Amino acid sequence: MTPAALAVFLLLGGICHSQASHPPQPHASVVFAGPPSPVPTPSVAASPSPLPPSVFIKVPYTVQAPLGNWDAAHEDYCEAAAALMYGAFLHGDHRSVIPPAEADQRMAQIVSWERHTWPGVLNLPLSDVAQVGAHFYNATPAVDQTATLGEIQAILAQGHPVIIPLMTHGAPGGQKINSYYGRVNVYHVLLITGYVPGYLVTNDAGIGLGQNWRYTWTVLKAAMDAQISLMHQQPVLLYFK
């Protein structure tokens, strides 16, 4: 984001600072309380097993400005927030929410490394977020260039959260994907933690009540397509093993 665009972004509000309550944890037929076994499994495409009707993966949550300091720096913490939540899950963190001071400190460390590694780059493609996870959490990334709802659900059913890129105003018709977002359309990455009939369940670090927030695939697919012209990446997905 350019300095001029950032100034307008902060004036109008690009990411929400809501203080409402989080949506409750969904009732799911399959619940993962920790990372899946490292034992090799068949590829998603080769698996003939039917998907469970619903899946939920317990991933510790943080908003990207956990201390409420929505300054210029924290407006670009979404990639670090997604990496932190995923890394906490991979390392067996069973807390529902990462304490704000801890989350803020750890995200600052991640962002410092990002800025040193990619000078001047504020919006990271998922190929770079993959490197963040590998560096900080010794995780093996898998990036797929052709994300579909079925593939996302299949990966979730194996116990892997999924990260996707999107635009905050990328819903059909150029609408906000979430009414709690600000008036400026910005790049964002979203951590998907499960699915229930009709919805994908997420840990959305861009809004204060983003834990367990649900989105339809219609909205997320449109928002993923909307980021192509800005980021020059396809509607990709990322997960870690």
pLDDT in tens, 14-29: 565 544 577 889 999 9
Overall average pLDDT of the 78-96 stretch = 97
For the domain that residue 15 is a member of, what is the CATH number?
3.90.70
Residue 23's pLDDT is: 86
Overall average pLDDT of the 185-207 stretch = 97
Say if residue 96's pLDDT is above 70: yes
Say if residue 43's pLDDT is above 70: no
- Which tops the pLDDT comparison, 186 or 10? 186
Domain range for 166 is 3-240
Query: What is the C-alpha separation between 230 and 58, in angstroms, rounded?
Result: 32
Residue 228's pLDDT is: 97
| DSSP line for 104-127 | HHHHHHHHHHHHHHSTT--S--HH
Residue 34's pLDDT is: 93
- Which tops the pLDDT comparison, 210 or 45? 210
Query: What is the C-alpha separation between 35 and 171, in angstroms, rounded?
Result: 31
Q: Taking the mean position of all CA atoms in its chain, how far away is CA 193?
A: 9
Say if residue 113's pLDDT is above 60: yes
Burial grade of 39 (CB within 10 A; 0-12, 13-18, 19 or more): exposed
The residue among 33, 76, 18 whose CA lies nearest residue 213 is: 18
* Mean pLDDT estimate for the chain: 90
Residue 6's pLDDT is: 38
- How many structural domains does the chain have? 1
At residue 146 the predicted structure's pLDDT band, cuts being 50, 70 and 90, is: confident
DSSP state of 175: B
**% residues pLDDT > 90 (the chain):** 80
The residue among 131, 153, 227 whose CA lies nearest residue 197 is: 153
Largest CA distance in the chain: 51
Burial state string for 104-142 with b = 16 or more CB within 10 A and e = fewer than 16: bebbeebbeebeeeeeeebbbbbeebbbbbeebbebebe
Say if residue 175's pLDDT is above 80: yes
Overall average pLDDT of the 191-207 stretch = 98
